[in-house]
Structure 1
Amino acid sequence: MNKSYLISEINRLKTEKNAIILAHYYQSEDIQEIADFVGDSLELSKKAQTTDADIIVFAGVYFMAETAKILNPNKKVLLPDINAGCSLADGCHHDDFKLFKEKYPEHVVVTYINCSAEIKALSDIVCTSSNAEKIINSIPSSKNILFAPDRNLGNYLSKQTKRDLILWEGSCVVHEAFSLDKLIEIYKNNPTAKIAAHPESESHILKTAHYIGSTSGILNFIKTDTATTFIVATEAGILHQLAKTVPEKTLIPAPSVQDNTCACSECAYMKINTLEKLFQCLKNEGPEISINEKLRIQALEPITKMLELS
């Protein structure tokens, strides 16, 4: 379908149905441009909690839309493509994690928001990369902590907070795809550049970084730092908002191990959503996210604790 037609129809349907489009920074440029709000996981959770829209269209991945439904049981929550998954969420199954948790009955269970409702329901508190350090520090030092599902974020948090965390062995395929050798080569060619990295990246990438933080943290760092060139080690979708925010600065995507066309790391799950799927989603009001009420209440508690601390 014609792009201008899709944009016009999406805007018409939003007004007609009192719908809001929430988009993650990793979505395509077209979707970011038509969204009512673009943010990281924490910002999107807060926005989902406070919106007065009747319909929430979540342009992101499944666990994000599911979290929005947990927070808004009486609203219709839609996902443009139901197959928009996440390697972290998909790699942490309920039965396996339940058995893992049972080995550490005295531990406080902290889970990264990149997990299913079933995993959240087994948690004491949820966190995002924006508030993870704050969440860990809020737990008394006398308490032991089990952290899942991202081992890279867990290792980073362990170093930052000086806490010995028990880690689930999960990882993000996107943030583990960065090539250290290629990154060093780019840095040699841009010696005044600063490297900004997401804490889901592997430790050898984080060791090179001048700044480590969430997607919104990286945006703020690049916006306020005096450097003029930045190498960005997170999903390449962030570059769109960055280019709009700081057009005078040079932004270089950190290269991935794979020899792909953009030489950067992209999340195939995030990019499975398209403008046409967004239109069809609003038009047909589906795919719709549904969740068992008992599970929703169980998963809501650790999310609420996170939002209160944030």
Structure 2
Amino acid sequence: MTVTVDAQAHQPPTDLVEPRSLTEASEIERWAAEIRRLARDRDAVVLAHNYQRPEIQDVADHTGDSLALSRIAAAADASTIVFCGVHFMAETAKILAPEKTVLIPDARAGCSLADSITADELRAWKAEHPGAVVVSYVNTTAAVKAETDVCCTSSNAVDVVASVPADREVLFLPDQFLGAHVRRETGRENLHVWAGECHVHAGINGAELTARAEADPDADLFVHPECGCATSALYLAGEGAVPREQVHILSTGGMLDAAKNTTKRSVLVATEVGMLHQLQRANPAVDFRPVNERAACGYMKTITPGSLTRALREGRDEVHVDAATAEKARASVQRMIEIGRPGGGE
């Protein structure tokens, strides 16, 4: 089955956010044993994004950000990749591992950020700026990557844009908050930013961050650059409301590295709440708390124990990327890797 995602559906349907997790430890243990058996029988490796439900993260062979997992997929000996994430992530795995079967446990797992620009919209934007270099966040569809000169992650976006000659215009897409972060860091005036956003990260606002920081003034702040509150975090640091050394604008991989090394007793985290599971595992002595406890991605949470089981039993839903699109998209990802280490992904 070829999975397609409605590019106009920027919000997940409400029925996708209903909790459908296992609760009893014995139930989880039996299910996990069955998943491992099914994976062996199908010659599959199970990958889980950091924003997945805790039990999905725990049963996976590898957990991480989308680009790191796609690179693991490409290097894996298994013939089948089961990607517990959203659709563009499974597409990226297929782009980097075209000879493998790639399954996504629920075909409805879209992404509001990836859906915020289509290939047709990008082509029209490029026509308005002939000669501009297109830099696309890795959180984009294969069709958009195919129209891209070079991809980037949140951890290396600044380096990728800085590598473009200063006299060339840059079209940065699709995340406006990450684009604003890149513009601040590079000081580049010929950087045009697409007005897209992740609905979850955009909803973590500056007022919430300020209130949480005021309630716990000694806490470190881990803020994802996709967040609507990233500017507020820098403002708080600039005004001295929060010591500058306590404010960290980080990718998910950067958050994990920082979590392992922090000496703080508490950390306020501004990203999708699934990330807290990995942070707590990285440093159990620290109290990691969300800036917004409602920041859960309904698309990510479509992947449930039941849908993962069905994917392994029935071989559904398979992700396909046509060869011509995959070849062009692969080139834009490869250029990103050649510029420098992609870092911690999103």
**TM-score range relative to shorter protein:** over 0.9
Alignment partner, residue 276 of structure 1? 306
Alignment partner, residue 195 of structure 1? 221
Equivalents in 2 of 1:161, 1:42: separation in Å?
A: 24
Equivalents in 2 of 1:35, 1:141: separation in Å?
A: 43
Alignment partner, residue 159 of structure 1? 184
Whether the 8 Å CA contact 1:125–1:305 is kept in 2: the answer is: yes
Q: CA deviation at 1:288?
A: 0.1
Alignment partner, residue 43 of structure 1? 68
Whether the 8 Å CA contact 1:54–1:75 is kept in 2: the answer is: yes
**Shift in alpha-carbon separation, 1:134–1:41, aligned structure 2, 3 A:** farther
Equivalents in 2 of 1:84, 1:74: separation in Å?
A: 23
Give the match's secondary structure for 1:175: helix
Q: For 1:172, which of 176, 198, 203 is the aligned residue?
A: 198
Equivalents in 2 of 1:196, 1:120: separation in Å?
A: 29
Q: CA deviation at 1:206?
A: 3.6
One-letter amino acid matched to 1:227: K
Specify every segment of 5 or more residues in structure 2 that has no aligned partner in the other structure, as ranges: 1-21, 238-246, 342-346
Give the match's secondary structure for 1:13: helix
Q: CA deviation at 1:185?
A: 2.1
Whether the 8 Å CA contact 2:259–2:282 is kept in 1: the answer is: no
One-letter amino acid matched to 2:38: L
Q: CA deviation at 1:195?
A: 0.9
Q: CA deviation at 1:4?
A: 3.4
Give the match's secondary structure for 2:134: strand
Alignment partner, residue 229 of structure 1? 266
Whether the 8 Å CA contact 2:47–2:69 is kept in 1: the answer is: yes
Q: CA deviation at 1:307?
A: 2.4
Q: CA deviation at 1:204?
A: 3.4
Alignment partner, residue 25 of structure 1? 50
Equivalents in 2 of 1:103, 1:186: separation in Å?
A: 43
Alignment partner, residue 245 of structure 1? 282
Q: CA deviation at 1:143?
A: 2.1
Equivalents in 2 of 1:117, 1:286: separation in Å?
A: 20
**Shift in alpha-carbon separation, 1:281–1:170, aligned structure 2, 3 A:** same
Alignment partner, residue 212 of structure 2? 186
2:232 equivalent to 1:205: yes
Alignment partner, residue 70 of structure 1? 95
Aligned residues: 303
Alignment partner, residue 219 of structure 1? 256
Q: CA deviation at 1:294?
A: 1.1
Q: CA deviation at 1:183?
A: 2.4
RMSD: 1.5
TM-score by length of 2: 0.84
One-letter amino acid matched to 2:285: E
Equivalents in 2 of 1:8, 1:45: separation in Å?
A: 24
Equivalents in 1 of 2:84, 2:223: separation in Å?
A: 23
Alignment partner, residue 259 of structure 1? none
Deviations for 1:185-223, whole angstroms, at most 9, x for unmatched residues? 222221111111000012433424700010010121222
Alignment partner, residue 241 of structure 2? none
Equivalents in 1 of 2:56, 2:142: separation in Å?
A: 26
Equivalents in 2 of 1:36, 1:14: separation in Å?
A: 10
Alignment partner, residue 295 of structure 1? 325
- Between 1:34-43 and 1:74-83, the stretch displaced more is 34-43
Q: CA deviation at 1:180?
A: 2.5
Give the match's secondary structure for 1:87: coil
Q: For 1:136, which of 155, 161, 167 is the aligned residue?
A: 161
Equivalents in 2 of 1:298, 1:89: separation in Å?
A: 18
One-letter amino acid matched to 1:204: T
Equivalents in 2 of 1:144, 1:93: separation in Å?
A: 20
Alignment partner, residue 344 of structure 2? none
Equivalents in 2 of 1:95, 1:181: separation in Å?
A: 36
Give the match's secondary structure for 1:235: coil
Specify every segment of 5 or more residues in structure 1 that has no aligned partner in the other structure, as ranges: 256-262
Whether the 8 Å CA contact 2:80–2:101 is kept in 1: the answer is: yes
**Shift in alpha-carbon separation, 1:204–1:295, aligned structure 2, 3 A:** same
Whether the 8 Å CA contact 1:70–1:300 is kept in 2: the answer is: yes
Q: Percent identity?
A: 40
